Amino acid sequence: MSGNFEGGCACGQVRYRLTSKPMFVHCCHCLDCQRQTGSAFVINGIIERERVVLLAGEPVAVALPTDSGRPHDVWRCPQCQTALWSDYGRRKVLVFLRVATLDEPHAIVPDVHIYTRSKVPWVRLPADVPAFAEYYDMRELWPAPSLERRQALRGSA
Ligand SMILES: [Zn+2]
Ligand SMILES: [Zn+2]
């Protein structure tokens, strides 16, 4: 990517900067993501919360119901309600950043496609990116530096 790691909501009240690339990028085709966005899939960049630096505004958490019962907070702009990132399990140290809120959203491409069992049939997946009917084993797919970053968070989570 070109180095522009900034992004924000639709109205501009919330602006943020990533201090690094995400650890890993999911393209999620699950029905929850489809319903919550009214779209075909969601692209989530998994990144340490502390690497998302707020430049303006203060997102607010909206709790969503989940099948698993684990909390899922979506952090949104209080003004325009754009979803900026999700905190699955209320871990606080780790967020799933909505990649499409970056100013250059296409610079980050998915590392994996997940929950393809509910993928809309007209979306064709690239042959060179791993895809899974449900989830996958992190240890097999994530690059070592990303696994180390993830491991470093476990101490603080
Ligand atoms: Zn906004
Ligand atoms: Zn999903």
Nearest C-alpha neighbor of 8 from the set 46, 50, 52: 52
Give pLDDT tens digits for 95-123. 999 999 999 989 899 999 999 999 999 99
Q: What's the pLDDT score for residue 16?
A: 98
CB of 83 closer than 8 Å to CB of 98: yes
Residue pointed to by tokens 């496609």: 113
- Residue 102 CA, ligand 2 centroid: distance in Å: 19
Output the average pLDDT for the chain. Answer: 94
Nearest ligand, CA 42: 2
Ligand 2 centroid to Cα of residue 150, in Å, is 20
Q: Which ligand is nearest to the CA of 58?
A: 1
Q: What is the mean pLDDT of residues 41-50?
A: 97
Domains of the chain and any CATH numbers: 6-154 (3.90.1590.10)
Query: Residue 88: nearest ligand to its CA?
Result: 2
**46-79 residue pLDDT tens:** 999 999 999 999 999 999 887 778 899 999 999 9
One-letter amino acid at 126 equals: P
Give every CB contact of residue 131 below 8 A, 6+ residues apart in sequence. Answer: 112, 113, 114, 116, 125
The bound ligand whose nearest atom lies closest to the alpha carbon of 135 is 2
Tell whether the model's pLDDT for residue 20 goes beyond 80.
Answer: yes
Query: Which of 34, 1, 4 is closest to 102 using CA atoms?
Result: 4
CB of 99 closer than 8 Å to CB of 44: yes
pTM score, two decimals?
Answer: 0.93
